Structure 1
Amino acid sequence: MKFKLFASAALAPLAFAGVVHAQDADQPTSVEEIIVTGQPIFRNRTEDVVPTLSYDLEYFQRFEPLTVGDALKRVPSVTFLSDVIESDGVRLRGLDPGYTQILINGERVTGAGVDRSFFVDRIPAELIERIEVVRSSSANRSGDAVAGAINIVLRDAYTLDGGYLRVGALRFDDGEFRGTYGAVFGGEVGPGRLLVGANIQDRYNPKIKRSDRFDEPGGDLENVELQTDTRDGTDYSFNAAYEVDVAGGELELSGLFVRTDRYEEEDSLEYDEGIVTPANLLTINANDTDIVTDNYSFGARYERDMFGGETVFKVTYAGISDEQFEFEDEQNLEDDEFESARVLLDVQDEEFAARISHEREIGDMTLEFGFDYIDKTRDNSVTESEADGDLADFPAAEADFSDYEAVTGGLNTIEETRFDPYVMLSGEMGAAKWEAGLRYETTDVTVTDQTAAPADRVSENDYGILLPSASLRYTLSDTDRLTFSVARTVRRPNFNYLSPALLEEEVGDSDFLGNPNLEPETAIGVDLGFERRLGARGVVGVNVFYRDVTDLIEVTNTGDEGSEGPGTFVYTVDNVGDGQVYGIEFDLSTPLDFVGLENTGVFLNYSWLDSQIEDFIGERRFNGQSDFVFSAGFTHDIPAWGMAFGSSYRQQGDAFDRVLAEEITTSYGEDLEVFIEKTFGENIVLRLTGSNLLNASKDEVFDKFDNEEEQIDRDYDEYEIESENAQGPIYQLVLRVAF
């Protein structure tokens, strides 16, 4: 590993390898053109064969999104099941975040989540040049994209010629203020071009929750919990890119560092029979978490003409460090007892990746071949210290919280080594442009868990998967074209499923045992789309998709008796299921010049989403998939006044989750945002935005059971209705000055 660190540092002191080099032939953009648009901005019409939707930063910027997650709320088929007014794990086409591949500059990124997902709210929106929604897969890209991929393209050294400063303030409905600051510069430095950027973004999200708990649906109200939940912190980011000609080729160095420093404070009061009086107070709970998460990447890309074509060498060193300290104190007034716990979580996930690829012309076709090498190490540490006793002794009788012990399944290392060769052909035949390829992904996995039984502490597994893909784009006319893609993709197992440690009472009253021999889920996917250009700048498209997913990872009963005795079992996970995912996606982005409103632009996205899977009870959708997502908005420029204004509206349908011993139905409220801006000269923009204007809510219904048999018989342990609201609208005033 020391050699890998040295190699990465030597080749790329600034890093994110593989910057998408779409601007080789372009001149750097004047910074004034970016911060002062003066006209509506629409979706790009890409020339990619694989169906791809592309949105420049200017498409989102007027609504001043704080993060990439905020920006993605205006993109087709993207849903979230995050807390209200937060956008972290992307659910492309409504599927679990683990089914969506998040790329930065076309490269895989590591995430802290057990489902391998990357939280896009970790990346400030100010860093991006554009966002691409890649609906299908290609042989020259990792196949971990059953739902598709989101490619976040950061600014490179050719993006800007000049710089700008950004300063702003946010006001929240409870009277709190927070700041936002940033600066970007791009220009010639020495023999090459340099881009550097820095951003400081305060984050604040105060919420209130209410939970009503019944013995069963329509039954007696047992208790009510009232909770305040405040997320308060700051995100710091730095990015840099340098491009220079070296030895007849072009060397690109680029890098990114993002730190999330956040404190989450949850305080709740529980009342008997829903009567909110001191006499009926049952419990007092304080649950706080201190989080420091670092995302970083270092790499290099060197491109040179050789061997009769173009050869590219890339290396990347990327990782995430997630450290959390959580404490929970609960005072039980009814039993005069208390319980306290302190938990330390430390996740260190590192990847070293290298690629060599070569592209050359063969007659009327282009041949590309190469390989990717990935070496991943993930260290997980979860330790805990607990105390309990008589309430009269609280808090003096709390344990010495320096004495931490690893929780079961909480001290492990997962190592993955991949070698993925590929070959791809592409070409044009008249009105048709096509590509076809094969990718073979091999994976060796070693799981070491110090909390498992001695005989099971080290487990090894390996598998290889052939991933064919093909795409066709057919031009019908100057305005119309068809796209068709078919590809096989994979989803690798969640990290928390791989540990062979036995977790007692993990699913209701029963136990759970991980399975280090899991193989990935695979899917055959088809996308068929039609796109029409509207005038000079507008575009409308419709796409139909289908995914046939096999080897689904589902919870199964081993038949062994659980730690709680008769009636309880040991459950595990295995590749036992199949499912189908399908839907229709519509998007429109156009000026209204056909009715004489050339300075007014509108966008409208609607996706109907559905799926089917058989589980231990019967048929259901894929967990967490909303049945639709809709967004629409407009912008209007008044050039004579140097002003503009606009609005954006979003709504997504209900989602349902069913796992062993619990079922959840989630509903989201509507979201409305507006902006108004004023430009001063050619280099200053002042923009006021308002978000969460409808005070959106997140409502969840929980059906809880003790075991599988009672879940099938609908014999409830508890029925809970929870509602979460952000505390009112958020207003943001931002000034940008170009220089």
Structure 2
Amino acid sequence: MQTNLTFFNSHLLIAFFLFTAIATPATAKETEEKGNNTITTTKSESQIPNLQEINLPQTSAKFLTQDTPENTEPENTEVASQEGDIEIDVVGTPLVNFIEERQQSPTGVIILDQREIQRFNYRTVGEVLRRQPGVVLGGPPGEDKDVRLLGLPKEYTQILINGQRFPDGGENREFKVDRIPVSLVERIEIISNPTATQNSQGVAGTINIILKKAPDGRVADLTVSGTTLESKGPFGGLSLLYGDKQGDFSYLLSAGIQQREAPKNKFKQTLDLQNRPTQTERETESKSLLDISIAPNLVWRISPQDTLSFEPFFLRTTEEKDATRNVNNQKFFSPSGRLQELKQDNVNVDEDKTITGWRLGGNWERELSATSNMKLGLFFQKTDEDKDKIETINSTTTTFKNAVGSPIDDKKPVKNTTNIKREEERKSDQDLFATLGFNFRPWENHKVTLGIEGSIRDREKKKIGTEQEIAPTLKPIVEKTGAKDVYSIEENQLNIFVQDEIRLGEKHTLTAGLRMETIDNKATAGDSSEVKQSGTVFNPSLHHKYLVTPTTVLRTSLARTVRRPKFDDFIPFRESKNGTLLQPDTVGNPNLKPETSLGIETGIEQSWGNNTGAFGVNAFYRWVDDKIENEINLNSENNRFEQSPRNVGNGKIYGLRLDAQTRTPFLGLPNLTLFGNISFLGSEVEDKLSGQIRRFKEQPSYVANLGFDYTIPNWGVNFGLTYNILPGFENRELKDGKTEVTNQAGENSLDAYLAFRLTNSVQMSLFGKNLLAAERSKNKSVFNAQGVFENSRIERETAERLYGLSLSWQF
């Protein structure tokens, strides 16, 4: 059934893209005379019709690709002047992607501006990214927090804030994007292949989140939102945006507070060889999150050549989680198959977690001459994560006789116990970094960039676990701290880069660069043993842009990227078990090398109908060296089997991305916009256990999005739908000396919105998220180290639909 669904979805999407590509839109009701740089329109794109306005807007939309005239001066200065840095008005105009920067950029990048972000009433950056090409979001259903570009694990995607990495609590160097509310965001850049000026740690790609900047004029917006779930609510949020410019000083205050709820229902069942349930688990979870965010931006032009900017921000997420879990463990007599023992656990979980992150610093920009400038930046940033967790376990164990009807064994009375598990975890991650860059034009067709970056990073983790039986007798507390639960890491990095953007005639742009990254690590385990590691990598990059016609752009790029190991992978720890093949010891690997990748991409973008439609195709291929995976080996020194992360070999990542967007005047619906994208994803890595070629962990065969937006200008109304398609996949993973083969079913989601303007300064939006009530379904098969089947497990997890209303007042 899943295969048929995959076949149907893929062919439906291909048909959509082919139809879009061959459609010939009717001529828009707009005249353009490029010879004298005049445009005749009845309404600019940035003007928002009120309820009283009835004039239809002209079909002058800009889409995924734009014409790139050699003369970069705006053709209509009146319209251009209305496009400020901060766009609030989005209701009542046809859906458009204002991404001229993508077309004009010498390198390939997808840019999501505020109109795209705000229109669908997204709450977090994760919700925005879910509908973009090649993006898969990880985390529980309904929580879009872990970005997985190209469907790869989260550690292959790099998250930047204002062009720099930001520390977070994750061991995989990831950043949870659900922590950033969209009220702080100016735009989002999705970068496939980096240039030399960008950090190289994005094998799958990089997400650069640009926070809002100080404006050139007064802006003031207050937004209030309220949301509800099917079983919980109401809850909501408040965001404020206020800024202005006074002489040479401009400022912006962007702040917000929002509450999020994430209730879950989970079901797990483990079956033995005879398909009998040995463990059945049902869990009801209630999770409440409170996000507080502040991101002021101050800019002071202290002289005609010098500008100072101050760019602090503060993020705090408080999470309260309560869960009730009922677990039944069963044992059976052999060979009769009768019930031998039933252990019933009633578990109550109380978990509180707070993540506080902040950055202080700014930049000094100086214009050295008419063709050169300098930028110096200095920042300090820190993230603290505190978690306290208490589990109360009430257990009842009943023993049965090996007889018909499985009567209770009177010789073994029912046993009742109560245990308490406590877990305290503290993580601290701080970073001091400085940047210095120079841009200059030695010749007319060259733009050279030189830069140096340095950072000093300290990370500490301390996780203490205890367990105590309090009934029927009070027993001493037993510590359960793991071997790698306590460690500290010092990581110092120095980067030097050079890049030259070369204009080769009127149609070709070549961007070539080289980036050197040197890193020194010192890792200290909980037993005070330490290890040092250092290394240098050189990462070249080459990007070529060919303007085939004014509406056709061909791009090709080549870049080398890096995926650094998890923090706790190269800690010098040992967790002793039996030391056998079935129960190997777990050890760290201080000699672990980073994965490196050489990626090539090529693509073409075609627009038509005066930019009322666009179609893009992009193919990519990446060679990955020194792939990191867990592996079991016999240690000849102590004659014990050990499981540790190792550089096991090489891999490949490849695929094809298609995206399309078009207005439909040729259907007689000039205010309807159709958009969609599909990414076909593939990868190869050799499985060391079976010798078979398999995919990278949890990578689906494709991911797709479809949607539409419709405008009713007479009423000043927009409404639309987005449909996300994520098919199932198979995953093989070595865990605790055993191989788990997981088959996960597909997850599709549907979002909708309706927005309209009440007055000149007030707009209202209604929206729904996860309207299909997404369910995550997994079937796991567990094999021991010798490849013998042990058991299977069924897992189900569901999330609720969300409905909301937002009211925005521009004052």
Q: Which residue of 2 aligns with 1:235?
A: 291
AA matched with 1:379: E
Decide whether the 8 Å contact of 1:374 with 1:417 is kept in 2: yes
1:316 matched to 2:379? The reply is yes
C-alpha displacement of 1:154: 1.2
C-alpha displacement of 1:213: 1.3
Q: Which residue of 1 aligns with 2:185?
A: 128
SS at match of 1:640: coil
AA matched with 1:685: Q
Q: Aligned to 2:765, which of 687, 703, 706?
A: 687
1:200 matched to 2:224? The reply is no
Decide whether the 8 Å contact of 1:433 with 1:472 is kept in 2: yes
C-alpha displacement of 1:508: 6.7
**Which residues of 2 match residues 389-428 of structure 1 at below 5 A?**
391-393=471-473, 397=474, 406-428=481-503
The superposition leaves residues 402-460 of structure 1 with CA deviations (integer Å, 9 ceiling, x where unpaired) of: x9775321221111111111111111112111100111111111011123xx6xx1111
Q: Partners of 1:681 and 1:170 in 2: how far apart?
A: 23
Moved more, 488-497 or 48-57: 48-57
Q: Which residue of 2 aligns with 1:222?
A: 278
Decide whether the 8 Å contact of 2:727 with 2:747 is kept in 1: no
1:352–1:594 Cα change, 3 Å: farther
Q: Partners of 1:561 and 1:578 in 2: how far apart?
A: 25
1:382 matched to 2:382? The reply is no
The superposition leaves residues 650-678 of structure 1 with CA deviations (integer Å, 9 ceiling, x where unpaired) of: 11122333222123333342111111122
AA matched with 1:407: G
C-alpha displacement of 1:161: 3.0
1:236–1:160 Cα change, 3 Å: farther
Decide whether the 8 Å contact of 1:358 with 1:370 is kept in 2: yes
Moved more, 542-551 or 100-109: 100-109
1:281–1:654 Cα change, 3 Å: same
Decide whether the 8 Å contact of 1:292 with 1:324 is kept in 2: yes
Q: Which residue of 2 aligns with 1:465?
A: 537
Q: Partners of 1:33 and 1:420 in 2: how far apart?
A: 38
Q: Which residue of 2 aligns with 1:29?
A: 84
Moved more, 307-316 or 74-83: 307-316
AA matched with 1:271: N
SS at match of 1:336: strand
Q: Partners of 2:539 and 2:658 in 1: how far apart?
A: 28
Q: Partners of 2:688 and 2:391 in 1: how far apart?
A: 34
C-alpha displacement of 1:26: 7.0
1:230–1:60 Cα change, 3 Å: same
Q: Partners of 2:614 and 2:379 in 1: how far apart?
A: 36
1:603 matched to 2:603? The reply is no
**Which residues of 2 match residues 496-515 of structure 1 at below 5 A?**
496-505=568-577, 509-515=583-589
Decide whether the 8 Å contact of 2:112 with 2:189 is kept in 1: yes
**Which residues of 2 match residues 51-70 of structure 1 at below 5 A?**
51-70=108-127
The alignment of Structure 1 onto Structure 2 pairs a total of residues equal to 693
Q: Partners of 2:688 and 2:393 in 1: how far apart?
A: 35
Q: Partners of 1:322 and 1:539 in 2: how far apart?
A: 44
Q: Aligned to 1:283, which of 342, 345, 350?
A: 345
Decide whether the 8 Å contact of 2:781 with 2:789 is kept in 1: no
1:543 matched to 2:613? The reply is no
Q: Aligned to 1:343, which of 423, 429, 440?
A: 423
SS at match of 1:408: coil
TM-score, normalization by structure 1: 0.89
**Which residues of 2 match residues 123-272 of structure 1 at below 5 A?**
123-158=180-215, 161-189=218-246, 191-216=248-273, 219-247=275-303, 248-271=305-328
SS at match of 1:90: strand
Decide whether the 8 Å contact of 2:216 with 2:244 is kept in 1: no
Decide whether the 8 Å contact of 1:600 with 1:636 is kept in 2: yes
SS at match of 1:71: helix
SS at match of 2:128: helix
Q: Which residue of 2 aligns with 1:670?
A: 748
Decide whether the 8 Å contact of 2:572 with 2:587 is kept in 1: yes
Moved more, 585-594 or 261-270: 585-594
C-alpha displacement of 1:160: 6.5
Q: Which residue of 1 aligns with 2:688?
A: 616
Q: Partners of 1:495 and 1:74 in 2: how far apart?
A: 30
1:425–1:37 Cα change, 3 Å: farther
1:434 matched to 2:490? The reply is no
SS at match of 1:29: coil
C-alpha displacement of 1:593: 3.0
Q: Aligned to 1:632, which of 679, 703, 706?
A: 706
Q: Which residue of 1 aligns with 2:799?
A: 726
1:521 matched to 2:586? The reply is no
Q: Partners of 1:245 and 1:699 in 2: how far apart?
A: 56
AA matched with 1:351: D
TM-score, normalization by structure 2: 0.82
The superposition leaves residues 89-140 of structure 1 with CA deviations (integer Å, 9 ceiling, x where unpaired) of: 1000011111111111222222211010011011001111111110101111
1:181–1:159 Cα change, 3 Å: farther
The superposition leaves residues 140-170 of structure 1 with CA deviations (integer Å, 9 ceiling, x where unpaired) of: 1111011110111111002773111111211
Q: Which residue of 2 aligns with 1:356?
A: 436
Q: Partners of 1:115 and 1:439 in 2: how far apart?
A: 23
Decide whether the 8 Å contact of 1:31 with 1:160 is kept in 2: no
Q: Partners of 2:582 and 2:387 in 1: how far apart?
A: 26
Decide whether the 8 Å contact of 2:91 with 2:755 is kept in 1: no
Q: Which residue of 1 aligns with 2:446?
A: 365
Q: Partners of 1:562 and 1:295 in 2: how far apart?
A: 44
SS at match of 2:699: coil
C-alpha displacement of 1:505: 4.3
Decide whether the 8 Å contact of 1:42 with 1:590 is kept in 2: no
AA matched with 1:385: T
C-alpha displacement of 1:537: 4.4
The superposition leaves residues 205-256 of structure 1 with CA deviations (integer Å, 9 ceiling, x where unpaired) of: 111111121014x722223211112211211111110111124212121121
AA matched with 1:60: I
Q: Partners of 2:250 and 2:81 in 1: how far apart?
A: 13
Q: Partners of 1:30 and 1:448 in 2: how far apart?
A: 46
C-alpha displacement of 1:623: 0.5
Q: Partners of 2:98 and 2:153 in 1: how far apart?
A: 26
The superposition leaves residues 244-279 of structure 1 with CA deviations (integer Å, 9 ceiling, x where unpaired) of: 1124212121121111001122211123679xxxx9
Decide whether the 8 Å contact of 2:287 with 2:320 is kept in 1: yes
Q: Which residue of 2 aligns with 1:91?
A: 148
SS at match of 1:332: strand
Decide whether the 8 Å contact of 1:36 with 1:683 is kept in 2: no
The superposition leaves residues 475-499 of structure 1 with CA deviations (integer Å, 9 ceiling, x where unpaired) of: 1111111010001110111011011
Decide whether the 8 Å contact of 1:635 with 1:645 is kept in 2: yes
SS at match of 1:333: strand
1:649–1:271 Cα change, 3 Å: same
Q: Partners of 1:27 and 1:140 in 2: how far apart?
A: 31
Residue identity over aligned pairs, in percent, reads: 28
Decide whether the 8 Å contact of 1:234 with 1:260 is kept in 2: yes
C-alpha displacement of 1:596: 3.4
SS at match of 1:34: coil
Q: Aligned to 1:552, which of 623, 627, 646?
A: 627
C-alpha displacement of 1:340: 2.5
Q: Which residue of 2 aligns with 1:3?
A: none
Structure with higher Rg: it is 2
Moved more, 488-497 or 551-560: 551-560
AA matched with 1:309: S
Q: Partners of 1:608 and 1:539 in 2: how far apart?
A: 19
